[in-house]
Structure 1
Amino acid sequence: GGYPEDYCDRLVEEAQATGADSVVVSMLTSGSGTVQKAAAAAQNSKLGTGGSKHRHLSAGEWVDHGHHALMRISAFQAVGGYDETFSHNEDAELDYRLRQAGYRIWMSG
């Protein structure tokens, strides 16, 4: 695993090119053993993802939610940042507040 050397540069370029307030990435689950691979296949299925764009390889489009990679500090602060009372899905809840406030979220290619 790991990130490409130009990962952060590419995120900044996409934010600048699109005017996005947040740049997110998709996430596919993978596994190395039999049980992990079976769990990943289930999680990556339509049933496991619920059709969410960020759980398959969609890219280069405006979305409601994704895995946070880059965010304008001004947008993050304007909506109050992460709600630390959430034990799960605080990222999705933050994206909801960003969208409600008119901020735009871009799925990186």
Structure 2
Amino acid sequence: MACHELSALRVAIGELLEKEAHDLAHEREELAPALEARPELKALLEERTLPGMRRRLEAALAHLEAQDPGDDPYHRGLILATESALLRLKGLEGELERFFQDLDLLHE
């Protein structure tokens, strides 16, 4: 089982980067059953802005953390991988914000 949170984020970023539809088709097929039960994943998959992706991934992570996996190391690994992806997404968002501010300074 793949991490649905990361798969949904991959599709959203793929759409943002205008990747070929066939490159994302397999990911969409694997996610289809989970999207019915997990509206936060569907929202993440359909998000088209970085701030929106961050918010949606935070919601998906909260859902993942709210589950009681017991001592399942796989579930803990999914949480860690999703947290890592969230940190990278926040870093991208911050870098774009700095780039935007730099462009504003150059424009003056």
Report the TM-score when normalising by structure 2: 0.28
Name the structure, 1 or 2, with higher relative contact order (CA <8 Å, separation 6+).
1
Report the TM-score when normalising by structure 1: 0.28
Higher strand share goes to which structure?
Answer: 1
